[in-house]
Structure 1
Amino acid sequence: MFRRQDDGVACHSGRAYDPSEYHLGLHVASLFVVLAVSSLACAFPLLVLRFPRLRIPSSVLFTVRHFGTGVLLATAFVHLLPTAFISLGDPCLSGFWTDDYPAMPGAIALAAIFLIAGIEMTFSPEKRCCAAPIGSSGITTNNARGEGDEEQRSGSVARQLSDTPTITRPQQGRNESHEHSDEEFDDFKIKLSAEQEYHKAFLQVVLLECGILFHSVFIGMNLSVSAGSEFIILWIAIVFHQLFEGLALGARIAALKWPPNAVKPWVMCLAYGCTTPIGQAIGLGLHSSYSPDSEAGLLLVGIMNAISAGLLIYASLTELLVEDFLSDRSWRTLRGLRRVGACSWVVLGAIGMSLIGAWA
């Protein structure tokens, strides 16, 4: 069925295809194919670590990890955000979306970024490490070793934890203000315990998975309400989409230091594997009445994709790209040709997912 806007644009309000082109058996088969590909792709890095007899080189996990970073970046920028702008800019929607505030998808993505940053700040274990009381209000310099050095070191810590950017210390009988150098604080960097490191990394992976799962349901719904040649093309594209994205997420899950026989990583893989098929099942039940080109469908898909784009942009940039390539730890562990190789895999992953994003 169609409805017409005042400007004559034909808009779908129900089924958007010829019923004779809809092959129910093929759609059901596609659900199980997507379920298998998604689950196995996400679980693959875990299986490699769990079963060393598979003899999968460590370089494979290295490649999957960084290739996946590029995949997730491209998913956010090439697939989700443009789709949100297209959906919410459709002429079938009211003038608020198309004329009054066409930048709404960007605003929604920005709000999602603020939300996810707030969640991470609230639950970050690092804030507990910086809650020590500030005791000293100054620093005393002593040329002798021993108690004078300890007092100076204690004062440095207090000043580092305060908001005061400068200090005053006596030198040659007079006070002079100067700014701390980076070297002066090298010994006072925040250090998390092993348990805190685990909780921090776990929170990052959970936020990353939330950004992925949020839009997966609607990918499945769109697949199930398509028909004919459009369905075949979309099915193939989504299979590759789920494969790459699953490997990316699985590599991050496997990188955590899980306790022996932990169940959580397998549950996270299963959650990723089932989300798109759940969307397909919903689409199968609603395929005769739901249309992604209807006003409700456009708003639903557009808003959810904008939110997912914000979540993935934040997670893939701050938790993956910055952590892997710009953090202090990365400069110690990723050097020379390994760094060049990792950067190359990120770019290749982004290119590959950008090409798939033209159809999925």
Structure 2
Amino acid sequence: MASTSKMVSTVIIFMAFLCTKALSQCEEETNNPCNNKSKALPLKIIGIAAILITSIIGVCLPLITRSIPALSPDRNLFVIVKAFASGIILATGFMHVLPDSFDMLRSPCLSDNPWHKFPFTGFLAMLSAIFTLMVDSMATSMYTTKNNAISAEGGESTTGDHEMAVAGGGGTHLHGHHHRPKGPIGAQLLRYRVVAMVMELGIVVHSIVIGLGVGASNDVCTIKPLVAALCFHQMFEGMGLGGCILQAEYKPLKKALMVFFFSMTTPFGIALGIGLAKTYKENSPSALITVGLLNASSAGLLIYMALVDLLAADFMGPKLQGSIKLQLKSFAAVLLGAGGMSVMAKWA
């Protein structure tokens, strides 16, 4: 996995420098009356603090509310809240990340050949979704092989019973996990862990890219509304990720690390943008290509995870299939989450 990540990063950086010829007006600063570096810096610092706090609140909310009986995983309310969070993740991919990538890779600052002659955004998003499917599938296969080997050797006899309980799906899959016997983890639980890790990766990449753009900008007219929109964006996106971390049942240290990385990525991106403000130009060919390709990869990953591992897994599970009323409530929650996040696309 590490070597694959390095290879993908190398390819993206290499492609970013394939096209360095751009129109001269794309390299030059425009005479924008809103450009004010001295006024923009305090706004960015305030933005770092505000986004950090809202990110922590959003991702920790599902983990904290676990102790509330009404929000326990075996209750209907948990299923509805999870559907709402899944809608947010889906809209993030479709309405925020994917359009940004299209805009960047279709920019007039890039040469016609090859960037305007081939839909790189759609192509890379498709490859990213296929790669995510491959990770999902291979992780499940590894579990199955290991479990079959243990069964053949007369391993844990209780594992199969636990597997049936975990694979029951819906809201009951987390009940009794603290009494899980030692041995290989259930396929469903392993799947939740893969979902949480891969989703965090996609969100982290997107968050750094967003923060970099804010930190490098000196436009005080856009920074104010953008920071406000990002606070809401990070809070709701954090709720979706927090729900996945909760289902993955990681140990406290791993939960803390995942919360830390999610909460710090956007503020880190802003700080990095501030440091690179003199050299980083949002409309330079290298920046447009690199960020555009990263956004396309992140979009494919988030869309796949939201549709396949979150929404389809729940709506086709026994809990929702057993109640039309609960399905309708969950559909309404998905639309509400996706709709709210779509409205935010106007600002962030």
TM range (shorter): 0.7 to 0.9
SS of equivalent residue, structure 2 residue 83: helix
Does residue 224 of structure 1 match 2:212?
no
Matches within 5 A, 1:25-174: 25-49=42-66, 51-52=67-68, 61-101=78-118, 103-124=119-140, 125=142, 127-128=144-145
Conservation of the 8 A alpha-carbon contact between 1:37 and 1:243: yes
Aligned letter for 2:304? Y
**Alignment equivalent of 2:26, drawn from 3, 8, 11:** 11
**Alignment equivalent of 1:345, drawn from 330, 333, 348:** 333
**CA, structure 1 residues 27+314, in 2 after alignment: closer, same or farther (shift >3 Å)?**
same
Q: Structure 2 CA distance, aligned partners of 1:47 and 1:104?
A: 41
Q: Structure 2 CA distance, aligned partners of 1:321 and 1:65?
A: 9
Aligned letter for 1:23? A
Q: TM-score normalized by structure 2?
A: 0.76
Q: Displacement, 1:329?
A: 5.5
Structure 2 match to 1:158: none
**CA, structure 1 residues 203+4, in 2 after alignment: closer, same or farther (shift >3 Å)?**
closer
Does residue 281 of structure 1 match 2:271?
yes
**Alignment equivalent of 1:297, drawn from 266, 278, 287:** 287
Gaps of 5+ in 1: 133-189
Aligned letter for 1:248? G
Greater share of residues in strand? 1
SS of equivalent residue, structure 1 residue 11: helix
Q: Structure 2 CA distance, aligned partners of 1:228 and 1:12?
A: 20
Residues 37-93 of structure 1: per-residue CA shift (max 9 Å, x gap) = 1011101111122x549x878676444311111111111111111111110000111
Conservation of the 8 A alpha-carbon contact between 1:220 and 1:277: yes
**CA, structure 1 residues 127+97, in 2 after alignment: closer, same or farther (shift >3 Å)?**
farther
Gaps of 5+ in 2: 1-19, 150-162, 168-179
Conservation of the 8 A alpha-carbon contact between 1:217 and 1:279: yes
Residues 139-174 of structure 1: per-residue CA shift (max 9 Å, x gap) = xxxxxxxxxxxxxxxxxxxxxxxxxxxxxxxxxxxx
Q: Structure 1 CA distance, aligned partners of 2:114 and 2:230?
A: 28
Structure 1 match to 2:160: none
Conservation of the 8 A alpha-carbon contact between 2:52 and 2:263: yes
Structure 2 match to 1:306: 296
**CA, structure 1 residues 10+281, in 2 after alignment: closer, same or farther (shift >3 Å)?**
same
**CA, structure 1 residues 35+16, in 2 after alignment: closer, same or farther (shift >3 Å)?**
farther
Structure 2 match to 1:238: 230
Structure 2 match to 1:265: 255
Q: TM-score normalized by structure 1?
A: 0.73
Residues 146-205 of structure 1: per-residue CA shift (max 9 Å, x gap) = xxxxxxxxxxxxxxxxxxxxxxxxxxxxxxxxxxxxxxxxxxxx9578622322211121
Aligned letter for 2:347? W
Q: Structure 1 CA distance, aligned partners of 2:321 and 2:114?
A: 45
Greater share of residues in helix? 2
Q: Displacement, 1:128?
A: 2.4
Residues 209-241 of structure 1: per-residue CA shift (max 9 Å, x gap) = 112112110111111122211111211111111
Matches within 5 A, 1:316-331: 316-328=306-318, 330-331=320-321
Q: Displacement, 1:207?
A: 1.3
SS of equivalent residue, structure 1 residue 26: helix
Q: Structure 2 CA distance, aligned partners of 1:76 and 1:119?
A: 19
Structure 2 match to 1:199: 190
Aligned letter for 1:246? G
Structure 1 match to 2:206: 215
- Aligned residue pairs total 292
Q: Structure 2 CA distance, aligned partners of 1:128 and 1:59?
A: 34
Structure 2 match to 1:256: 248
Q: Structure 2 CA distance, aligned partners of 1:16 and 1:128?
A: 63
Structure 2 match to 1:183: none
Conservation of the 8 A alpha-carbon contact between 1:113 and 1:314: yes
Aligned letter for 1:319? D
Q: Structure 2 CA distance, aligned partners of 1:46 and 1:357?
A: 27
**CA, structure 1 residues 60+231, in 2 after alignment: closer, same or farther (shift >3 Å)?**
farther
Conservation of the 8 A alpha-carbon contact between 1:91 and 1:98: no
Q: Structure 2 CA distance, aligned partners of 1:109 and 1:13?
A: 31
Conservation of the 8 A alpha-carbon contact between 1:16 and 1:291: no
Aligned letter for 2:206? H
